[in-house]
Amino acid sequence: MRIDITALRRLDQVKAVSLETMLNDSASLNGFIARNSLCQINTSTTEYNPASIWNPDVVNPRGSLLIEIAEWFFRNYTAGYIVGMLCHEVGAHYMADHALRVQPVSPLPGLVARPITHAVQAVPRSRQNSEEQLKDRASQVQDAATNWSYTASDAKQPDHIFASCYGYARYHYYRGLMIEFAEIIALYRRNDPDSFAAQDLPDLIDCWLMDISSILATKDARGWGPAYAWWVSTAYAAHLARLKADVNVLTADADVRAAVQNTQNKSSARVFADYGQMIPRLFM
């Protein structure tokens, strides 16, 4: 695929190169985007939302990946968090849509092959994937980590709910992609320590955990996150425990395993502080 991150290079060359490394080396991303298609990441000065993605079927050339990152987020967060946001935009949305239909296997070379979905299917005979049929029926969706229940169609973006509920295929795809990105960071840290900072791997894991936890706690109304800090903290602990239990199956990389096991739970005060730090950064 062709990569265009010119807009990012103008803001921070080091972070831009780190992101380009991830784009180049992700087998899943390269398998999703056609060889002659474009992966372009632009920036926005008007968006409060950290990032947005366009439907690859409607961009030109068709099949390309177009992502927009808010400048405030790119400036103020580490490469690990930026990679985590990229992981959300592709792993919870269009790449997951594609993967849930064709169910490919996309391991990194030399590492353990990971089927896209090893999850419990909600409706086994769904025509496309279990999430779509459940959404149509307005059925209850339960997160197997917290045991909290949701009506996915009530969420602003129902795919966010499925991407955050343990036991559903979209969740396991999103988590698997996060692990793939973590493996890339770990590989580069061992061979080229200047490519990613030491904190980028823990930050990627934290970004994923905070993302799904805030979705679950607020039913995808994440602007209310500070008011739901206790629930975010509870979901964070539940999904971190699941990740620690599963990580040896998810990856053979010792550094990724160690980073997961070294991740600590977050108190509600810490969650609230994280939100508090984000607000002034919107205007920096």
Band of the pLDDT at 74, cuts 50, 70, 90? very high
What's the rounded Cα separation, in Å, for the pair 247 and 234? 20
Residue 229 in this model has a pLDDT that exceeds 80: yes
Q: What is the pLDDT of residues 232-270, one digit of tens each?
A: 999 999 999 999 999 999 999 999 999 999 999 999 999
Paired strand residues for 65 = 39
Q: What is the pLDDT of residues 13-66, one digit of tens each?
A: 999 989 888 888 998 888 887 666 778 888 887 777 888 887 777 777 777 778
Residue 73 in this model has a pLDDT that exceeds 60: yes
The residue extents of the domains of the chain are 78-281
- CB count in 10 Å sphere of residue 35: 7
Q: What is the pLDDT of residues 197-221, one digit of tens each?
A: 999 999 999 999 999 999 999 998 8
pLDDT averaged over every residue in the chain: 82
Instruction: Please tell me the predicted confidence (pLDDT) of residue 100.
Output: 76
For the ranges 56-60, 83-87, 89-93, 250-254, the lowest mean pLDDT is seen at 56-60
Instruction: Please tell me the predicted confidence (pLDDT) of residue 175.
Output: 96
Higher-confidence residue: 126 or 262? 262
Cα 44 to chain center, whole Å? Answer: 20
CB 123 within 8 A of CB 130: yes
Band of the pLDDT at 283, cuts 50, 70, 90? low
Instruction: Please tell me the predicted confidence (pLDDT) of residue 104.
Output: 41
Higher-confidence residue: 110 or 212? 212
Residue 136 in this model has a pLDDT that exceeds 60: no
Band of the pLDDT at 107, cuts 50, 70, 90? very low
Instruction: Please tell me the predicted confidence (pLDDT) of residue 35.
Output: 60
Q: What is the DSSP string of 156-190?
A: SSHHHHHHHSTTSHHHHHHHHHHHHHHHHHHHHHH
What's the rounded Cα separation, in Å, for the pair 1 and 9? 19
Instruction: Please tell me the predicted confidence (pLDDT) of residue 30.
Output: 84
Band of the pLDDT at 99, cuts 50, 70, 90? confident
CB 138 within 8 A of CB 72: no
Residue 193, preceding peptide bond in cis (omega within 30° of 0) = no
